[in-house]
Structure 1
């Protein structure tokens, strides 16, 4: 499963993620393994989901890399490499990059108020149900 932050905490099979978002990994970094049961991981995700909502997303300061860092720290006690967390700041250090990020942040600000909170809550409930379904089907598996 691919767990990610995009309008909430979501999970998809890796192939589904790659197909749906048209994104393939550029690099894969082995962060280690965990002995935690998947049920404990899902409980953790349920506990942190309030920090990873669509209204809290910020392309520079609170994004998918921050989510990945939090999860890696929980699972294996390690942070992801700093250069990954610094990517938005590296982009902002160039004039074109700053322009692109400013446009993206303006776009995000313009659509965020239009999100229907009930729809967002429904999405979060669906995500929770998806996580709970995974717990039920994979109760004794390790991730």
Structure 2
């Protein structure tokens, strides 16, 4: 909190590829990508984001993704927490689980909309422009049928669509194992998604730790 009625808002940015996009994207897509971005809004000492189960929250850095790769200070807001939760409730229809789409209606669209509500600030365009960057390439188009079936929900979050109890604690576990799993799954998508031997059901059935 920055004052009696002012609250700080931050954008948490996670690279779901754990650095592999930077290493492999030019070879695969013909253009350089610095990361595969998942974002969330942190305000009122809580982290809010959108994924395959709808709008969720947890303590800052409380999902299995751990702490973000970078943080952007969005500025301060005078919106009270109760009003903010009412606002999130009003978004539950447009950000419901069935409305999630990896390219067109994802965590970054949610973060951008919430950031503008709280502070009037937009999130960086390199994040929101990422889907069009990927889909503008031939390999991105080849990947689309497979990636369209994938949803991203960081483990350790607590669903907010029903606005029930928020008692989410960061799961205990081997964080290095999670990082390896993230790298391996991302490489799997890139190297095998266009193969006739791999179906979208096969990919989407893999354990999602993104």
Scaled by the length of structure 2, what TM-score is found? 0.49
- TM-superposed CA distance for 1:124, in Å, is 3.1
Equivalent residue, structure 2, for 1:10:
56
Q: Residues 89 and 81 from structure 1, CA distance in 2 versus in 1: closer, same or farther, beyond 3 angstroms?
A: same
Provide the C-alpha distance between the structure 2 equivalents of 1:5 and 1:100, rounded to a whole number of angstroms. 23
Among 161, 164, 167, the alignment partner of 1:124 is 161
Aligned residues: 114
- TM-superposed CA distance for 1:31, in Å, is 1.2
Q: Determine which structure has greater relative contact order: mean sequence separation of CA pairs < 8 Å that are 6+ residues apart, divided by chain length.
A: 1
The answer to whether the aligner puts 1:69 opposite 2:109 as a matched pair is no
Structure index of larger Rg: 2
Structure that is richer in strand per residue:
2
* Structure 2, gaps ≥5 residues long: 1-45, 152-158, 168-210
Q: Residues 51 and 98 from structure 1, CA distance in 2 versus in 1: closer, same or farther, beyond 3 angstroms?
A: same
Q: Residues 15 and 84 from structure 1, CA distance in 2 versus in 1: closer, same or farther, beyond 3 angstroms?
A: closer
SS in 1 for 2:56: strand
The 5-angstrom pairing of residues 39-58 of structure 1 reads 39-58=82-101
CA RMSD of aligned residues (A): 2.4
Equivalent residue, structure 2, for 1:91:
134
Provide the C-alpha distance between the structure 2 equivalents of 1:28 and 1:101, rounded to a whole number of angstroms. 29
Structure that is richer in helix per residue:
1
The answer to whether the aligner puts 1:31 opposite 2:31 as a matched pair is no
* Maintained 8 Å contact 2:112/2:123: yes
Scaled by the length of structure 1, what TM-score is found? 0.69
Provide the C-alpha distance between the structure 2 equivalents of 1:12 and 1:96, rounded to a whole number of angstroms. 35
Q: Residues 104 and 80 from structure 1, CA distance in 2 versus in 1: closer, same or farther, beyond 3 angstroms?
A: same
Provide the C-alpha distance between the structure 2 equivalents of 1:23 and 1:38, rounded to a whole number of angstroms. 24
Equivalent residue, structure 1, for 2:103:
60
